[in-house]
Each structure stands twice: as structure tokens, then as C-alpha cells.
Structure 1
Amino acid sequence: MPEQDPLRARFAAYRGDVTDRIDGPGPDAARRTLRRRRRATVVTGAVAVALVVAPIAAVAALRDAPPPGPSTLTPTAEPTWSPSPGPSPDTSRSPSSPAAPDGRITEQQLRAAALDLPAWAGRNCADTTRVTLLPATTGEVDRPYLISVTHGDVDADGATETLALLGCRIGEASAKQVVAFDRDAAGRIVTLGRVARTHEEGDGGFENVRAVAVADGKVRVQVADIQPCCSIPAYWARQQWRTYGWDGERFAQTGGPTTWGRDSRLTDLAISAGPFVLGPADERGRLQGTVTLTVINRGPLDADRVAFQHMEAFGTPDGGDWNRCEPARVQPEWPSCLTEGVPAGERRSWTFRFRLGPEGLQAGLSVWLVHYGTDYRYWPDLTPGDNRVAVRVDR
């Protein structure tokens, strides 16, 4: 029908235009699409199907549908690629452990708490359970007291712990120990463990703790082999720094000396004596007596000076080698005679004369030998058993 020719012509033109728009992609378009797919980390199947199927379906629909009116379609933007998000967090994992509690404890807080203490060595100190520490000024015996505290991370947990130097008096001296304290998650003070204590048996034992420090996660303890008291001079003591570390269960020594060895300041002296020989009485009834003392130095050191003590019981000095004795100095416990020394490996003798009154002699005469230095300090002997001699009296 001729009246339909205009419609057919319009429809044919429109169909040609649409067909050009929806024809499948050519090689260039396919390569671009492939590159996009290679770059993408995740492309869903639905998108791929839509990109391929949609143009074909559109062609079929247009071919079967009645001629449309003017086009109202707007071009759809080409799909853009975005990287897929990373894997979601694993919510089944437990959160990281909380920070370790702060174990910095003051002296006041320690003294206010009821503490469980490690046992003391060789001392009958009070109960070690639920102990309340006394101040360092206490005069009570057999009761633990707090001397000092220091702080540092000693168990490698990233938090600070407290090191306490504790004492327990026994007369003038005290047993001592270094104890580490911490806090639990609830903030309560807990005993981490003992670092070191005095009066342990063996060559490595010590009788005093002089200082405590923390460095590089280790506990450093200054110990001494002697605790000055009861007229024992402080200079007799030898000091060592020993290092202790936490092994997860207890503290153990990890550095420093483990024994004391022989004191290099001491030597081995021995004394012997002849009889105390009494002569006849003079017109006033007084007696004269003479005794000879011999000193041997077995070494290893020279003795700068030697002293004889308790010779007052023999009587009043009355000649002989008293002139070899140094005049008395103003200081307590000056010996009866302080005289020249004896080199190592040698022996020397002194003869002393005394004048005795009519009252006669005291019973049990004896002489003690003591090693002195040039600075007037006196020293113990390596073998003190032969530093005293009993003197027999001959009439």
C-alpha cells in the first residue's frame, strides 16, 4: 500500500540506526574489555553476562516489537573498575593482651600491705605469711623491716616492678634479703620472688647486702662477706656486685662472682712462747719475770706490724724489748705492745721483763697476736687458731 511507504521507510531507517548502535563489539573493543578484565581483581558473573547478553536481547526485542516512537534512551556510562576490598577482619581472634599492671610500689604502700615473704636463711624470723613490715628504725628483733626500695622492669613484661631490701634484726646484726614485688590485674601487691638472701651456706654465701640496682632488665646486688657489728670494723668487709635475672619462675644469678676466695689482704701469723720465768723477790717482796715470744709469718703477705695483747696480766713493764714497742696512741683498745712487722717466710722474737707486786700473778696467762697495717688498722688472720698462746709459769 502506497500510504504505508513513508512508515516503512522511517522504520527501516530507524532499524538501521539501532542496529548500528547495538552490534557486538569489534576487535578493538574486545581488547579493551579484556584488558579491563585482566586489571580487575574481582568481576562478578552477572556483570559479564549483562555486558554480553543485553545487546543481543535488545536486538531481538526491537526486531519483534512494533516500531517505537522517538528515542528517549540516554546512554549508559561504561562500567568503571574499582579494587575489591581486602579481607574482612577475623572477628574470631581474641583482642591483644592488656598491658601488664604497673608494679611501682612505694615504701608506704609496702608497709601498709600484708605480704607473703620468702623464708630467711639461718635465722628465726617471724612468720613469713601476711607480714606487715616495720620501719628501718625499729629495734625489734626477729621481725622483718623495710630498708629501701628501687624500681625497674625485671621480668621483661614492659612494666615496672619493685625491689625491696628487707632486714630482720638479730641483736646488732640483721639477716637480709632482696624481694621483688608486683601488682596483679586487680592492683593487689603480690610477691614475685626472692632475688638473694644472706647467710646461705657455702663459699658463695654472704652476710650483708649493701645496695640494690636495676639495669637492662637485670637486678644488681652489692653483697659483702661480713656485716660490721659487735666491734667488727667495717673495713674488714669485702664487696662484690652480683647480677640476677628472672627465668620465668624464679631469680637466679647470671653474672658476677660466685665465691669469695682467700682475702688478699690477709696473711698467716703464728705465735709461740717460752715459760714465764720468775726470779727471786727483792727487799720489798716484788718479783721480776721474763718471757720470750716468737712470731712466724707463714705468708703469703708481709705483716707491716704485729701486736701483742693482754700482757698487762704479767705485771708492769720493766725492760727488755719494751723499747721496741710503739708509744700508745689515743684510740680504744690499744695493744700492750705494737711493734715492727715480720716479713713473709720469716720469724722474729721479743723478750719482755716485768715487775710483779707481792700479790703475785693472775691465773691463766696468755698472749694474743694481731696483725696491724701501717695505717693502724688491724686484720684477722688466715688461720686464727694459732694466734693465741698460753704461757707456763716457772718459779
Structure 2
Amino acid sequence: MPEHDDTPNLDDIFTAYTTGGPLAAPAGAAAAQHVARRRRTTRIVAASVLAVAILAATPAIASTWTDQNPPALPADTPTAPVPSSSPTSSASPTLSATPSAPPPDGQIGKTELGNAVLELPAWPDYLKEHCPAGQVKFSDGTAQLAPNSELQVNILDVVHDDLDRDGAQETAALINCTGVEMGESRVLAFDRNASDTIVTMGLVTGHVGDIAWIRGIRVKDTFVEVEVLDAAGEGIVEGFAQSQWRTYSWSGESFYQSSGPSTFRPNPRVTDLSISGGDTRLVPDGANTASGTLRLTVRNKGPRQASDPYLTVDLPTGVTVTSLPATCETSKTPNGTRYLCWLPALAAGADTVVDLPLSAPQSALDGAQPGKWKATIVWGHTGTESGDGKGWPYPEPDGAEDDNSANGNLLLAP
């Protein structure tokens, strides 16, 4: 404060008040020094007391404000909602969640699904010309690429569960596209959209990895369980193919295998058999006959033992096996005779030689077109399902050569 200013010093007055000193300042230089010393020693204490006094008075002062528009807070300062002071205004519902519509019900019956238009993903290349894909119209559970198509798509089974965990049901369906000689099976999941239209969620699984066929589906705890078969399961008699149940889950975008076995152990009935032989010359042994030996070599390339393989040999009319092994039987064919012979078990990597003694009239061998033989080595189910009296052959491993049959000429030796 300037020395010539005669206005009373408020700091000094307040200091005197708070320290119990006299409210009237003493006159003279000594008094001025006394006041200065007290000012220096009590300034901090006075400031603290003043702050406490102001804070204590704040509620009372604030209660008398009528201004309802306090200064704006900085932009990054969090604020809480302030109730309106007007008795006629209603509270804002900004903190209340707006009720959402329930998810569509995707529980679709087999009949409805079998008469709907469904989005089907593309089939493998070898089936693209035979099986419909894209928007496919089903009727009574079936669909075809064309009315005269050899293959047909069929909906075999449907199951329901909350596959995407949204509180509503979805539908999983076992679908195949098959014909006489080829086909494929797969599992697809379906749902409805907000417009109640059936939509495809995705492919659960198909013929991937070592899965050769799908035999059944079921659901459990929002998962799809699929019964899968190993190589060449379709078309093979019951008991050949190995089966497993594998579990699939929805990731939010697609299905993936979440539990269960992921591979098959090697099928004990799948092995690679081969047969070889060459032209056979029969030597004249009488007025009009000739004889010789048809030598066939049977090999098991593995990986499994063939426990009961059998050999079929077709010979033209007039050519016979003169000494038939006890394990063989014969049957007539339109062009001659078929010989079927059971062979001993053949270990992986082993081979065996089969010699069949033949006899034939020279006239059957000495023509412009020589007679021919054909032989096939088979390991499979016995029965009559295949139409040839022997049932279905077991498959060979992927990549096996097509060498389980052989043929050659029957020639008259000079």
C-alpha cells in the first residue's frame, strides 16, 4: 500500500481482530513497526482463517442465488444429470435402456424348410454340373438342377437349438446331393431375419479332411453334433465305415469344430491290393486241345492286412480250369465262365502267386481274334448286393493306382 494513502489497512484491522489486538492502531513510528511485525508473522494464519470462513459461508450464500445458469465446465469434465427444478417437467429417460425387439424365431420345421427357397453354398467342382446352388427352390424336401438331372438334393433331417446364443432357436439341417455313383452330404444352419425370411447362417461341416459322409445330426447345449464317416462310408455295407460324433459351434461369423475327435484312426479294412498277369500261351496236347497255366500275382501294397481277399477270373467259352482249388467256385456268364477263389490272408507288403491250369480246344485259340482272360482282386463284403454275387469291395487308400484288375490274351503256341 502506498505510504501517502490514508485509507485504513484492512489486513491490519483483520489481523488485530483475529489475534485479539487493539482495533485502534497506536500512533508513532514504534507503533508502525509493531504493526509491520504482526503483519509479517500473522499473514499466513489470517489467510487460512479467511478461507475457512468463506467455505463455511458458501452454503448459505449459494442458497440465496437465483441464477440457474452456472459457468460452463471444461469440455472434458464429466457431468451427472441434474434434475429439473420445474415441478411440471419430467425426468429425462437418457439412462434407461430402450427395450429391443426379441430376436426372430428360427425354429423351422422339416416340412416348411423342404418347401422354401434356400441359399445353398457351392458344391465341389465334380458336383457343380449336377447339384443346384445359390437360391434353390425346394419342393417336398427335394430339389434338382434340372428335371432330368441324375443327382438330387434332399433334406434328410432337421434339429433345433439356440445356436448363436441370442435367446431364440435356430435350425440345423442334414442335406445331401446324391446319385447312383456319386454324391456328398453336408450340414447347414438356418435362421429367420427381421422380415421373417429364412436365411442361411452358414455351413456347419461337409466333406472336409477325412470326412467321407455324414450320417446324422443332433444338438446339445447350443452345439451341433454331427456323426461323420470315414472314407467311402456311403454305399458300403453297415459295419465297414468308422464313425465319430464331432461337435461344432458358432463363432459369430461361421461354424468351427469345438470338440470331439478331429481325425480317424486308419481304417483296418482299407488297403491297396493289386494284381498282374500277362498273355498266356497254351500248347497243343492232343488232336484238338491245348493246355497251359494262367499265372497271376496278387500283391498287398498296404497299409493294412487283407484278411480275406478273393479273386475273380473270367474265361471265354470253351476255356476251363482243369484243377480247381477247393476255395474256388464257378458260375456261368454270357461270354463264358467266372471262377471265384478265396485267398489266404495277405499281410501288408506281401504278395502271392496264383496258378490256374487251363485247357481249351485249339479252335477256341487259333482264330483271328484271340480269346481273353480278365481277373480282379477284391477285398470286401460278401453278398448279393452288387449283382455279381460278391457284394461290395472295400475302398482303397486315396491316391492308390487303379491296378486291382488285369487282363491278357489266350494264345495257341506255335
In structure 2, C-alpha distance between the alignment counterparts of 1:99 and 1:218, rounded to whole Å? 21
Q: Contact 1:314–1:356 at 8 Å: present in 2 too? A: no
Of residues 267, 271, 276, the one that matches 2:275 is 271
Query: Greater shift after overlay, 371-380 or 148-157?
Result: 371-380
Aligned partner of residue 114 in structure 2, secondary structure:
helix
Deviation at 1:309, TM superposition (A): 1.7
In structure 1, C-alpha distance between the alignment counterparts of 2:381 and 2:198, rounded to whole Å? 50
- TM-score of the superposed pair, with normalisation by structure 2: 0.61
2:243 matches 1:228: no
Deviation at 1:218, TM superposition (A): 1.0
Aligned in 2, Cα 1:89/1:374: closer, same or farther, shift over 3 Å? farther
Higher helix fraction (1 or 2): 1
Aligned to 1:353: 357
2:132 matches 1:126: yes
Of residues 341, 346, 352, the one that matches 2:344 is 341
In structure 2, C-alpha distance between the alignment counterparts of 1:261 and 1:143, rounded to whole Å? 32
Aligned in 2, Cα 1:114/1:389: closer, same or farther, shift over 3 Å? closer
Query: Greater shift after overlay, 239-248 or 91-100?
Result: 91-100
Aligned to 1:83: none
In structure 2, C-alpha distance between the alignment counterparts of 1:222 and 1:351, rounded to whole Å? 45
Aligned to 2:196: 187
In structure 2, C-alpha distance between the alignment counterparts of 1:305 and 1:335, rounded to whole Å? 19
In structure 1, C-alpha distance between the alignment counterparts of 2:248 and 2:183, rounded to whole Å? 22
Aligned to 1:387: 404
Q: Which runs of 5+ in 2 are unaligned?
A: 1-58, 61-89, 332-336, 384-389
Deviation at 1:272, TM superposition (A): 3.7
The number of equivalent residue pairs is 298
Q: CA RMSD in A?
A: 3.6
Q: Contact 1:303–1:373 at 8 Å: present in 2 too? A: no
Aligned in 2, Cα 1:381/1:132: closer, same or farther, shift over 3 Å? closer
Q: Deviations over 1:30-52 (max 9, x none)?
A: xxxxxxxxxxxxxxx99xxxxxx
Aligned to 2:222: 217
- TM-score of the superposed pair, with normalisation by structure 1: 0.63
In structure 1, C-alpha distance between the alignment counterparts of 2:278 and 2:198, rounded to whole Å? 67
Percent identity between matched residues is: 30
Aligned to 2:140: 135
Could you tell me which amino acid in structure 2 is paired with residue 379 of structure 1?
A: Y
Q: Contact 1:146–1:167 at 8 Å: present in 2 too? A: yes
Deviation at 1:222, TM superposition (A): 1.5
Aligned in 2, Cα 1:335/1:227: closer, same or farther, shift over 3 Å? farther
Of residues 369, 374, 384, the one that matches 1:366 is 374
Aligned in 2, Cα 1:270/1:315: closer, same or farther, shift over 3 Å? farther
Aligned to 2:105: 102
Deviation beyond 6 Å, 4+ runs, structure 1: 373-377
Q: Contact 2:212–2:234 at 8 Å: present in 1 too? A: no
2:186 matches 1:174: no
Q: Contact 2:377–2:404 at 8 Å: present in 1 too? A: yes
Q: Which runs of 5+ in 1 are unaligned?
A: 1-44, 47-87
Q: Contact 1:296–1:342 at 8 Å: present in 2 too? A: no
Deviation at 1:369, TM superposition (A): 1.5
Query: Greater shift after overlay, 210-219 or 385-394?
Result: 385-394
